[in-house]
């Protein structure tokens, strides 16, 4: 199956219009799993549903004219990043519509809170901190992005980044602590 996705990506990238429909069929279930993983951390009354997230993500993925797809994992890593961006943009729009100010104190360990305003502030704070982390250590930021936003397993991340699962685990622990400090200091 992974070879099929990789081959379809290459065909699509080379202009094969029939490959796009086959690609959609091949990746839809996995994108849906990623979106479901992501949406479990969102509030229950979130107006952006799993299906809408999948469709918006896919449209952005296939619109990536400058990306040379290396593999199935590369495609899903990009999907994780795009889902992150969609949800953070959504949170920014939501908090921009709110009156008042002052983001509440947030903690990385409380990501699954259902309070919509606090969750929106958390995603914005997390995105800002993750961007700062990427400037310091790109790989560590990628581990967070792939695991937290993409729901990828350590083994998949290790394969994608060409490191050991132990390195991924270590990066995850260090990044999680660093991000929690940055978010706590910023609130």
Rounded to an integer, what distance in angstroms lies between the CA atom of residue 124 and that of residue 98?
14
Sign of CA dihedral 168, 174, 176, 179: negative
**Confidence class of residue 41 from pLDDT cuts 50, 70 and 90?**
low
Q: Please indicate whether residue 68 or residue 164 has the higher confidence score (pLDDT).
A: 164
Segments making up each domain of the chain, as ranges:
2-186
Q: What is the pLDDT of residues 126-170, one digit of tens each?
A: 888 888 989 989 999 999 888 887 788 899 999 989 999 999 999
Q: What is the pLDDT of residues 88-131, one digit of tens each?
A: 888 777 766 554 444 444 444 444 434 456 666 777 788 888 88
Q: State the maximum Cα–Cα separation within the chain, in Å, rounded to a whole number.
A: 51
Does residue 141 contact residue 130 with C-beta atoms inside 8 Å? Answer: yes
Q: Please indicate whether residue 187 or residue 147 has the higher confidence score (pLDDT).
A: 147
Does residue 25 contact residue 12 with C-beta atoms inside 8 Å? Answer: no
Rounded to an integer, what distance in angstroms lies between the CA atom of residue 8 and that of residue 52?
23
Rounded to an integer, what distance in angstroms lies between the CA atom of residue 137 and that of residue 152?
19
From the list 82, 37, 86, the residue with the least C-alpha distance to 62 is: 82
| Residue 168: per-residue pLDDT | 94
Does residue 5 contact residue 70 with C-beta atoms inside 8 Å? Answer: no
Residue 9 has pLDDT above 90, yes or no: no
């Amino acid at each position: 199956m992974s070879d099929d996705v990789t081959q379809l990506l290459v065909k699509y990238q080379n202009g094969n219009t029939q490959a796009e429909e086959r690609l959609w069929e091949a990746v839809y279930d996995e994108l849906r799993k990623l979106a479901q993983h992501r949406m479990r951390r969102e509030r229950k009354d979130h107006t952006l549903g799993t299906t809408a997230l999948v469709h918006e993500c896919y449209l952005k993925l296939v619109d990536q004219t400058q990306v040379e797809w290396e593999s199935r994992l590369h495609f899903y890593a990009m999907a994780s990043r795009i889902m992150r961006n969609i949800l953070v943009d959504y949170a920014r729009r939501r908090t921009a519509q709110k009156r008042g100010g002052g983001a509440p104190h947030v903690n990385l360990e409380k990501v699954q809170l259902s309070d919509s305003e606090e969750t929106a502030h958390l995603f914005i704070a997390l995105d800002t901190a993750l961007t700062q982390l990427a400037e310091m250590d790109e790989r560590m930021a990628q581990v967070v992005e792939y695991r937290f936003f993409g729901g990828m397993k350590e083994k998949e991340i290790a394969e994608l980044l060409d490191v050991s699962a132990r390195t991924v685990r270590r990066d995850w622990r260090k990044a999680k602590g660093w991000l929690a400090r940055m978010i706590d200091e910023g609130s």
